[in-house]
A and B are shown apart, each in its own frame.
Chain A
């Protein structure tokens, strides 16, 4: 027998309420300020660097995102670091705070399904992240227009748009992870610590741990096997996937993200940029991986939440 009524009933209401909570909350303002200030510093540094050196670059605008000038890292690495932080900040207490405020059973006794509550919270979180990232992205482009005085070409705009979408998907992974832990752990502090710990592990430790594990598993003579295994292991981390995608999208000359056999290079003009869709194709598995990770983590949280007891 099917259950009666739509699981989406009340979804819009939950989304709007959560969104307004996020956008008016002090926590969001602090995160926003942090991200804007650091990112703009990175872009400003990049612009001065770009002006000095590469006047002839056909992808001048993309350099805004990828150029680093000591001591600041590039805008892309900043965002790769701060977007997860923002997502975790939004998601780590989304469900357990309803428990601790004892609002959960009251809300769920209204004529809605649990689906609407959890999905509404996720959508609201993702929308908040999307809004902030889009604003930031527009700021960067505006700053670039003002200070470089050159409008971006069509291909560049396309690449920047794809970069924006990928960044939102990347933030979505961490949001879904934070929400999963907010369902599992009743204490928001525990959930925040576990999520941040896992994020640090996957972002900082895992990329250097992956080759070591590969060496332990694959026989030393198999050089190609070693590289491929290490890369596969590293790609379990969303940060690796994000890094590779950004590399393919924002550096049009990137032809592959894995090891290349000599036969594959025949006829290739080294250093010449790929067309936009070819670059997307290069990073397609990574993009799909990011979206799939988001969906998987959300489904995990959903399953746990559906089975969870309502009472505190």
Chain B
């Protein structure tokens, strides 16, 4: 793994007696997309605000490019672009003027500003509406304008809080495409979301948040192995004679076989056993209708994990 650009060690945030974020550890490597996932109120936004120096850290340490966001917030904020959850702009100003204001705050000169803003707006596909008031913009356009701000800033890290929240499917696909293109330009990305499916497609690694703690961390495939007991899930749909379950279970490398519905079988195996399963069905005199290998989905990992956690809690009680 390359040098981390973001490091959190034992990061903790307390509000009075409530603990919003509880001893969180993670690192984001240069050039990767790291996802903070979890239900609303799990502490994702609070973690982000602490990394930006916008909220005090109760305990623990954060480093962004080696800078402490509490003590050197300007150094951190110069290098990090932030797209807040449902980003807002000044509605009575045009898109370009909104960016001009933030560009001035960043300390860019007039000529540099014009050039960067034009380039950034072109990159997110808002050039045509640059002189339109933001008041008339849709949600997706605002999010894109927010990304344009990060592009203009030349940020080395982009922190995106719920970037696809409330967007229609097409708008969120476009936005994820833009996020990928940011990564292609060498920007490290930290994004938070509760929409697991969308995020799975872009993240290199994810951290699952639950009640202020990181429950699981790693790439989606790693988490799948960890939570779903590893292995490959093969789904078989077949018009079958009896005893197919027995035959499938008898294959070497099969750990378990379930029958969620008549004629449908789900097997968890050590390796990809699709060919063997097909042969078994035919040998049993059945008619094979469908055969598929399931990639572990984050959604599944997530629900499975929390089911486990709840059951354990019940047992403990």
Contact = CB atoms under 8 A, between A and B. Distances in A.
Interface of A: 1, 3-5, 9-10, 13-14, 17, 101-103, 105-113, 309-311
B55 A111 contact: no
Contact of B102 (A1, A9, A107, A311): A107
Nearest to A10: B105
Contact of A101 (B71, B73, B91, B104): B91
B89 interface: yes
Given A102-B86, A311-B49, A17 B101 contact: yes
Interface string B218-241: 000000000000000000000000
Contact of A309 (B55, B71, B80): B55
Interface in B61-120: 71-75, 77-78, 80-84, 86-91, 101-102, 104-107
B54 A111 contact: no
Contact of B55 (A13, A14, A110, A310): A310
B149 interface: yes
A4 B88 contact: no
B124 interface: no
Given A103-B90, A310-B49, A112 B84 contact: no
A4 B71 CA distance: 7
Contact of A110 (B45, B75, B88, B106): B106
B88 A103 contact: yes
B267 interface: no
B146 interface: yes
A49 to B, nearest CB: 44
A106 B88 contact: yes
A106 B98 CA distance: 11
A309 B15 CA distance: 11
Contacts of A106: 82-84, 87-89, 102, 146, 149
Contacts of A3: 71-73
B187 interface: no
B52 interface: yes
A9 B71 contact: no
Which of A9, A103, A109, A112 lies at the interface centre, i.e. has the most chain B CB atoms within 10 A of its CB? Answer: A109
B107 to A, nearest CB: 7
Given A13-B104, A105-B49, A105-B82, 5 more contacts: A103-B90, A109-B52, A109-B82, A110-B77, A111-B78
Given A111-B107, A311-B49, A13 B84 contact: no
Given A105-B54, A112-B105, A310-B54, A1 B71 contact: yes
Contacts of B55: 309-311
Interface string B25-65: 00000000000000000000110010010110000000000
Interface of B: 45-46, 49, 52, 54-55, 71-75, 77-78, 80-84, 86-91, 101-102, 104-107, 146, 149
A113 B74 contact: yes
Given A13-B104, A310-B55, A101 B90 contact: yes
28 contacts: A1-B71, A3-B71, A3-B72, A4-B73, A4-B75, A5-B72, A5-B75, A10-B107, A14-B105, A101-B88, A102-B84, A102-B86, A102-B87, A103-B88, A103-B89, A105-B54, A107-B102, A107-B105, A108-B54, A109-B80, A109-B81, A109-B82, A109-B84, A110-B106, A111-B78, A111-B106, A112-B105, A309-B49
Contacts of A14: 105
Nearest to B161: A105
Contacts of A1: 71
Contacts of B73: 3-4, 113
B77 A109 contact: yes
Contacts of A112: 74, 77, 105
Which A-B residue pairs are the 4 nearest by beta carbons?
A: A102-B88, A109-B82, A5-B74, A110-B105
A113 B77 CA distance: 10
A106 B82 CA distance: 7
Contact of A9 (B74, B88, B89, B91): B74
Contacts of A103: 88-90
Given A3-B73, A103-B90, A113-B73, A311 B45 contact: yes
A105 B90 contact: no
Contacts of B52: 109
A109 B51 CA distance: 11
Contacts of B54: 105, 108-109, 310
B84 A4 contact: no
Contact of B74 (A4, A17, A102, A309): A4
Contacts of B81: 109
Contacts of B107: 9-10, 111
Given A111-B78, A310-B54, A13 B105 contact: yes
Nearest to B104: A13
A113 B88 CA distance: 19
A105 B86 CA distance: 11
B20 to A, nearest CB: 10
Contacts of B146: 106
B77 A111 contact: yes
